[in-house]
Amino acid sequence: MRATESELPVFPFTNADGSDDQERMVRLSEEQPITRVALAGQPVWLVTRHADVNAVLVDTRFSLARAIDPGIPRLGTFELPPGQLLATDPPEHTRLRKLVAKVFTARRIEQLRPHVEEVSDRLLDRLAEQAPPVDLIQHFTAALPIEIICEILGVPDQDRDRFQEWTERLLTVAGLPAEEVQAGWTRIADYLAGLVAEKRLVPTDDLLSRLVAARDEDDKLDENELVMLGLALLIGGHETTKNQLASSVAMLLAERPDQWQRLIDQPELVPSAVDELLRYVPLFGYAVTFPRVATAAVELGGVTIAEGDTVLISLTSANRDTAMFDDPDEFDPARTPNRHLAFGNGVHRCIGAQLARIELETGLGGLLRRFPQLRLADAELDWKKGVFVRGLHELRVEW
């Protein structure tokens, strides 16, 4: 017998200080891996165990497109606009993804590694010239992925700082009026539309120009899809990597200084350490990713998800599942195999996963090599509250 709506625990779970209760989410994966919670006043399913989360990710009966329908509960003010890559299902999603997939193949992205290393070294040179303490996010963890994705897309140098404030607003879940969040979407979409118009007049050798050609010459997408695809790549190509790298460095310096030293002594562990950081360090502010809606009745983990039910999945708890990982609460940079779900799975698996991994390996490896004595300048870390992507306001460091 299902609990009544008034009896359901309210999601997101928060502590007394307003921070997200990550521990409760992980505990649910052991005690109630598929449970009902109330989101925006409506009952939804919360899925927390690795096997079940992965099953939702790969099952196309769980729709991301349906999740933006009117009346579907949202995670606060966060809402994907129609036509956005992450708000589409196959076959529309397949059609749009194919337009950029060739640019993001493992082989082509691996060829970018020397350039990523070059950009990283240049930024680290500039960092070394600063008088500590300095904000590592501003000077490095944000600057690196922003420069790379903007080069791939063809965003002019002088515009790279403009969209960061807009991104901050549109990824807000709580703390800002919905109108301000939507204004962030409008501003960045208008910017992309203007950039598309420029590429149409003066094409260059970049991904956005190729998408314009696919729109104008081959009629493979409409104008809104073109803008939304560029927007998805621009935001996804920097915001997650920026925060993941900063959060990873902060965790190592604050909680695992012995492992920071181990990575200095054994730099060959950096690639496996990056995978372990992706598993261990939460990326999502409320431990869940985008809501999905079941388009048919689905049996999952011993319960029946009815057609039309909304489902939330927690990659955070899935990546700490004792059924999948030995000692999941321990950080082990040599962990192998490491079947984390940080990049998702199925048709919506992060298209930029390989690029993100190269940037994380290069960024972390560069810091370990150039700044082995790096340390936190502040005893307390100031985490953002009410955001979809977990991150710090700043990461002040010294050496």
Mean pLDDT value across residues 252-258: 97
Which tokens in the block code for residue 286? 């409320």
Kindly report whether the peptide bond that precedes residue 333 is cis, defined as omega within 30 degrees of 0: no
pLDDT of residue 80: 85
β-strands 34-39, 42-47: how paired?
Answer: antiparallel
Q: Please work out, in degrees rounded to the nearest 5, the angle formed at the alpha carbon of residue 352 by the alpha carbons of 79 and 370.
A: 115
113-129 helix and 353-370 helix, angle to the nearest 10 degrees:
40
Instruction: Answer left, alpha or beta for residue 154, where phi above 0 means left and psi between -120 and 50 means alpha.
Output: left
Residue 298 and residue 62 in contact, taking contact as beta carbons nearer than 8 Å: yes
Q: What is the pLDDT of residues 2-26, one digit of tens each?
A: 555 568 888 988 764 445 567 777 7
Mean pLDDT value across residues 317-332: 95
Three-state SS at 29: helix
Kindly report whether the peptide bond that precedes residue 282 is cis, defined as omega within 30 degrees of 0: no
Distance in angstroms (rounded) separating the CA atoms of residues 60 and 150: 31
Nearest to 55 by CA among 293, 345, 261: 345
pLDDT of residue 3: 53
Residue 360 and residue 248 in contact, taking contact as beta carbons nearer than 8 Å: yes
pLDDT at 42 exceeding the cut of 60: yes
Nearest to 233 by CA among 163, 291, 169, 286: 163
Q: What is the pLDDT of residues 224-247, one digit of tens each?
A: 888 888 888 888 888 999 999 999
Residue 141 and residue 363 in contact, taking contact as beta carbons nearer than 8 Å: yes
Name, in order, each residue with C-beta under 8 angstroms of 201's C-beta and a sequence gap of 6 or more. Answer: none
Residue 181 and residue 169 in contact, taking contact as beta carbons nearer than 8 Å: yes
Which tokens in the block code for residue 268? 């060959």
Which tokens in the block code for residue 269? 């562990």
Mean pLDDT value across residues 111-132: 96
pLDDT of residue 9: 87
pLDDT at 1 exceeding the cut of 50: no
Torsion angle, alpha carbons of 297, 298, 299, 301, to 10? -130
Mean pLDDT of the chain: 91
Distance in angstroms (rounded) separating the CA atoms of residues 118 and 221: 35
Share of the chain above pLDDT 70, in %: 96
pTM across the whole model:
0.93
Q: How confident is the model at residue 62 (pLDDT cuts 50, 70, 90)?
A: very high
pLDDT at 34 exceeding the cut of 80: yes
Three-state SS at 134: strand
What is each CA distance from 8 to 16, 72, 277, 286, 303, in whole angstroms?
Answer: 19, 17, 33, 18, 17
One-letter amino acid at 267 equals P
